[in-house]
Amino acid sequence: MSQLIPPHGGKGLVCCLLEGSELEAEKKKAEGLKKVEISPRENGDLIMMAIGAFSPLDGFMTKADWKGVCEKLLLADGTFWPCPVTFSASKEDADGINEGDEIALFDPKLNEIRATMKVTEKYAMTEADKKFECEKIFMGEGTPTAEEFWKIAKEDHPGVQSVMGQKDVNLAGPVKVLSEGEFPIKYAGIYMKPAESRKIFEERGWTEIAAMQLRNPMHRSHEYLCKIAVEVCDGVFIHSLVGNLKPGDIPADVRVKCIDALVKGYFVEDKVLQGGYPMDMRYAGPREGLLHATFRQNYGVSRMIIGRDHAGVGDFYGMFEAQTIFDKIPYTKEACPDPGKALLCKPLKIDWTFYCYKCDGMASLRTCPHGKEDRVLLSGTMLRKLLSESGEIPDHFGREEVLVILRKYYEGLTDKVEIKLHGAATGQ
């Protein structure tokens, strides 16, 4: 019997990806179904359901699920879930679809049918509904009132832009996924399914595993967080997002090279596993921190590293709001009559980390008594800004092996995106 943390939801790994003769039959059927385009974010969520990473979800959310998640962080059946997973269609497409119909989810980028879906419900998403979702999911301590939030959210928050840009009707229902798209080939050796990571953890004899969420290249602070995790757990899962990011973020293949360089040069290799997952970033700060813990539980992870401004963007969230939300969630194992529906993956909360010249090493606000002038404050946003502007990288900000890879990447760019600094990036 496995000693790993069980998958979320109490149903084991719920995988929606078809194989073999069942796959071939569904592909043939899909060609005769009405095709509805799927967005990049929806496509990433679809693949997460395909591989079991979004267990226990087996399809896109109903209105009751959507509302329950927004208001209470609970699906309609009482299962903990922190962020909506929905699929939108134009009013024109939706008008031609009845509840009970099967449709084909079509990826225009790859010109490929990605899945079939049995529509069990369709519900309108008015502008007021979209604003409701944005305020519940994306509004944090950095913008404590709706008025402050909406002054900047539509222009500066990519998650808000994504939700407000959704089509007018949400379609709900279970999916049968026909393809994982480009991920297994493009990210061979990195892209990983929960069943695969669980198998590796069991082979290594790991039971207590921490996950490190990455959307930026690893700098010294990330490295330090991982090493803290290795000290208190059996191993660390460095788990990079290989889905879509906002403009100006560094692509996955470059980040993977950076992690490879660090793991080979600065870690005990059998204490680290590197993997990748296909979801797009939502930049939902605290809510996304909970989502990261939820789907990492499916990968076999028992502790989610949550540091400063986890999954944040701009100044929308409090510096450690993604940590404190774990103390406020409504559904814990202790309070739950059905423990399988609770979030079992716990946070590994770590304070702001940096290099301190006086300490002569990496430290945190909990361990270092010295002033700001003695510290090299590390931030992925600051690193990207300095590299994009050919600026001087401070000593101890990053490992030289990593900086070589990043400088080469930025030198090859023809179009550069302006990197905006915010409080978390500047040490304010």
Look up residue 266 and give its two tokens.
Answer: 């600065």
CA gap 369, 426 in Å, rounded:
20
Q: Residue 182's closest CA among 254, 245, 282, 253?
A: 253
CA gap 197, 300 in Å, rounded:
7
Q: Quick one: DSSP state of residue 85?
A: -
Strand partners, 347: 304
Within 10 Å of residue 268's Cβ, how many Cβ atoms? 10
Length of the chain: 428
CA gap 36, 41 in Å, rounded:
15
The answer to whether residue 287 is catalytic is no
Q: How far apart are the first and last CA of the chain?
A: 49
CA gap 152, 131 in Å, rounded:
13
- Strand intervals (E) in 71-181: 88-89, 102-107, 112-118, 121-124, 169-177
CA gap 300, 210 in Å, rounded:
9
Q: Are 243 and 281 in contact, with CB atoms under 8 Å apart?
A: yes
Q: How distant, in Å, are the alpha carbons of 215, 355, 376, 387, 421 from that of 394?
A: 21, 11, 7, 11, 17
Q: Residue 243's closest CA among 253, 258, 234?
A: 253
Q: Are 45 and 105 in contact, with CB atoms under 8 Å apart?
A: no
The answer to whether residue 296 is catalytic is no
Among 216, 287, 298, 303, which one carries the catalytic annotation? 216
Among 114, 198, 215, 255, which one carries the catalytic annotation? 215
- Give the list of residues 6+ apart from residue 62 with CB closer than 8 angstroms, or none: 76, 120, 121, 123, 172
What are the catalytic residues?
A: 215-216
